[in-house]
Structure 1
Amino acid sequence: MTPENPPGFVVRTEAQKAAFDNGFRLERGITGGWLGFASTTVQGDIWIAGISKHGPWLLALEHTGVIAELTDLSRAVGVPSPGAAAFLLPTTTSLDAALNHVYRLASSLPDLPLRQFKARTMSLPQSTEAERLVIQRVGQDIFRAALIEYWGGRCPLSGVTDGRLLRASHIKPWAACETDAERLDVHNGLLLAAHLDAAFDAGLISFADDGTILFAATFSLADRTALAIDEGWTLPGITFDHQRYLAWHRCLHLAEPKR
């Protein structure tokens, strides 16, 4: 499978539109048939190549944190690329969706929230409790924005998308974290509908390493039914980094969980 080299007018036009529409508006030129793009707001260059003007498409990335998250995309095995990994997308629509996902992940991985937090708080005083609360609010605002990007502005369980009903829930709470890196790590957070966030914070629900929802022994079936919490729910896209925080949450709250 060889990229069109040099890329024709249609391939160049479609690749540029897909990149620009999804936040990658800096053009990096052409390398071996791959059109390079970057963003002013997120880390990591991307490259797009077309096999023909009708597709399929190839997407190469250098951001290793993002690459690790894209487990649902097909790798372009054996295709030389300028990135650390390349993926095969059958249509322009799938290329556009993949770029949207890449941009959202790059907005929150691996340490962008932490760097934003340090930049915004480095000159703020932290000697009194009131001042430390201000610092915490700044961090929580950054954390929420990062989780909204990471989870696509949607509760992955209930499907709720109204921001007024969504909560950025730490898995390991802010006060229990040992470092700011833990506090601002998007893998230490879930974007949940308000009632699910309340149940999670109270330790009434948690999640197994595969994302399966777990219930505390004290969480009655009547209450679960009233809240429309489905026992078949599973959190999608759970990574190893999520698992270590979820293990902490289960250990604290669910001595005898119910599946």
Structure 2
Amino acid sequence: MNSLERSLVEKAGYDNGWERSSIATDGRSITLASSMHGFTATVRKGSHEKEWSVRFSNGFPLGELRREFPSIIFHEEEIVPWDYQVLCAILRRAAEIAIAVPDAPLIAFNKELESTLAKQGIPHGTEAERIVKQRIGQNYYRKALLSYWKGACALTGFDLPEVLRASHAKPWAECESDSERLNVYNGFLFTANVDALFDKALISFADDGELLLSTRVKEGRFADLGLRPGMHLRWIEDRHLPFLTWHREHLFIKNI
């Protein structure tokens, strides 16, 4: 990799959520990282003139990228973008995913929580701690969902952040740990009306993402809110399913 190529990779990383870089001792690759998450991306020149090669560190959910980019660029653990623009797009989406998926939000949450409690002199095990914990946690959870769903409603695609809500499938109070509460797969980014319906279990979703409507709501009222039978989530991953199952079996079933 020559100096121009190294500069291009460093710029691609810096502009797309990977602000740290280090050059391999043999000079053939650059490893990109970020203070926002624990993953790395190793980039080298591809075998053809405009191609690049990218490998993410262990644990990175490649399936999230496979859903959004052509299958032809995926070769087991290696991704081969056909030009620089595609490399940038992959790094940008990978960074969005990296700061959203477990356990990046949890790590950031714990760090800010301890700092806030120390600064304000709030002891552990108090009601004040619980309030601060919930406020900080819900803020990080919303940020994670905004990143994961690319700033748009998981059902409708509506993309005005001011009206988007972070909606839990398994409610905050029912979660067994902070890891569950901040798990990006334990919920969805919804517009306010969809969030309210999901929170009250008047809607839910099947394992394939199809919208389920409660019969408790009069026919036609869902249509007034822009919802109709046959709608689906924009996408769904296997890791959503345990939480969706919980929502259906503990909440939605009461409203069928």
Task: Calculate the TM-score normalised by the size of structure 1.
Answer: 0.84
Q: Distance in 2 between matches of 1:56 and 1:220?
A: 56
Task: Say if 1:15 and 1:221 are closer, same or farther in 2 by CA, change over 3 A.
Answer: farther
The reply to whether residue 45 of structure 1 matches residue 40 of structure 2 is yes
Which stretch has the larger CA shift, 224-233 or 100-109? 224-233
* Aligned partner (choices 61, 67, 86) of residue 66 of structure 1: 61
Given that residues 217 and 256 in structure 1 are in contact (C-alpha distance below 8 angstroms), is that contact kept between their aligned partners in structure 2? Answer: no
Structure 2 distance, partners of 1:95, 1:114, is: 28
Distance 2:161 2:129 in 1: 27
SS of the equivalent of 1:64 reads coil
- Seen in structure 2, the aligned counterparts of structure 1 residues 145 and 76 have a Cα distance that, compared at 3 Å, is closer
Q: Give the match for residue 121 of structure 1.
A: 113
Q: Residues 200 and 206 of structure 1 are in contact (CA less than 8 Å); yes or no, is this contact kept in structure 2?
A: yes
Task: Indicate if the aligned counterparts of 2:137 and 2:182 stay in contact, CA closer than 8 A.
Answer: yes
- Is the Cα–Cα contact under 8 Å of residues 169 and 243 in structure 2 kept in the other structure? yes
Secondary structure in 2 matching 1:153? coil
2:146 aligned partner, one-letter code: I
Whether 1:156 and 2:154 are equivalent positions in the alignment is yes
Select 1:97's aligned residue among 89, 92, 97: 89
For each residue in 1:9-28, what CA deviation from the matched residue of structure 2 results, as whole angstroms up to 9, or x when unmatched?
55434323221211212221
> Is the 1:22–1:96 Cα contact (8 Å) retained in structure 2?
yes
Q: 1:206 to 1:27 in 2, by over 3 A?
A: same
1-structure distance, mates of 2:38, 2:149: 18
> 2:102 aligned with 1:107, yes or no?
no
Matching residue's letter, 1:15? V
Instruction: Read off the aligned partner of 1:148 and give its amino acid letter.
Output: L
Whether contact under 8 Å (2:166, 2:187) holds in the other structure is: yes
Mapped contact 1:216–1:256 kept (Cα < 8 A): no
Question: Structure 1 residue 52: deviation in Å?
Answer: 6.0
* CA-atom RMSD in angstroms: 2.5
**Partner SS state of residue 172, structure 1:** coil
Structure 1 counterpart of 2:18, from 12, 20, 24: 24
* Aligned partner of 2:178 among 177, 180, 184: 180
Alignment partners' CA distance in 2, 1:204 and 1:115: 33
Match of 2:240 in 1: 242
Q: Per the alignment, in what secondary structure is the counterpart of residue 80 of structure 2?
A: strand
Which structure 2 residue ranges, 5 or more long, are not aligned? none
Q: Is the 8 A contact 1:66 1:102 kept in 2?
A: no
Q: Does 1:33 align with 2:33?
A: no
Q: 1:99 is aligned with what amino acid?
A: L
Letter in 1 for 2:34: S
Contact 1:214 1:257 in 2 (8 A): no
CA distance in 2, matches of 1:231, 1:100: 34
Structure 1: distance between partners of 2:135 and 2:21: 37
**Gap runs ≥5 in structure 1:** 1-6, 79-84
Report the AA paired with residue 44 of structure 1: F
| Distance of 2:232 and 2:27 partners within structure 1 | 42
Provide the C-alpha distance between the structure 1 equivalents of 2:82 and 2:255, rounded to a whole number of angstroms.
Answer: 42
SS of the aligned residue for 2:43 comes to: strand
Query: In 2, Cα distance between the equivalents of 1:86 and 1:236?
Result: 26
Please state how far the C-alpha of 1:139 moved relative to its aligned partner: 1.2
**Aligned: 1:165 with 2:163:** yes
Deviation at 1:167, TM superposition (A): 0.2
Q: Aligned-pair distance for 1:145? A: 1.4
**What letter matches 2:108 in structure 1?**
Q
Q: CA deviation at 1:215?
A: 1.2
How many residues of Structure 1 are paired with residues of Structure 2 in the alignment? 246
